[in-house]
Structure 1
Amino acid sequence: MFNLWVDLSLSILEAQQVIWLRGMRIASGGKAAEREAKLMVSEKIEAAGRSITMLAMGAPADKFVSYYGGKIRSNRKRLLRSPA
């Protein structure tokens, strides 16, 4: 249970960074901003579908945190390394 709260807390902090990085990318305009906006929307739709499936199958909370944490981390890494 302790690890769940630690993972969740870290994911929240990383999510804030992803929000900021995405905001900067979109605010810069151009093709990169358009791609980022489309990617963000498609990821939200995919995550919603995945969440519904996980809930329907009775997945425990740590599976949700693990799934979303992985998505958040991969977005953070991508946004930090690509120049726009």
Structure 2
Amino acid sequence: MTDAAILSAEAGAVMLLRTFKLMAGGAAASREAERMVGEKVAAGFELAGALSAAAARGRPHTPDSAARKALSVYRRHVRANRKRLG
């Protein structure tokens, strides 16, 4: 299975688990919604920083290596959420 396919499957599982948590309502659902938004922003900044740092060191990413880096960053975040939620 490719990294993109694994990320897709894991992200689907996280979406399902989060949906159940959000549907339950209450304080836990509110915290999860806030956490979800914050994590997306943090992951985006992490990726932007990694790509910018490589370019600043004179080793800019090719489109293929940038995509691999993006997959690795987002998979790490998604995997952590899957473990935490499920």
Residue-pair matches, total:
76
Which ranges of structure 2 fall in alignment gaps of 5 or more residues? 55-59
Matches for 1:1-84 after TM superposition, within 5 Å: 6-56=2-52, 57=54, 58-59=60-61, 60=65, 61-80=67-86
Q: Which has the larger radius of gyration?
A: 2
Q: TM-score, normalised by structure 2?
A: 0.77
Give a deviation string over 1:19-55, Cα, whole Å, max 9, x none: 1111111111011101101110110111121222233
1:77 partner letter: K
Consecutive aligned runs of 4 or more in structure 1 exceeding 6 Å deviation: none
Q: TM-score, normalised by structure 1?
A: 0.79
Percent of pairs with identical residues = 38
Which ranges of structure 1 fall in alignment gaps of 5 or more residues? none
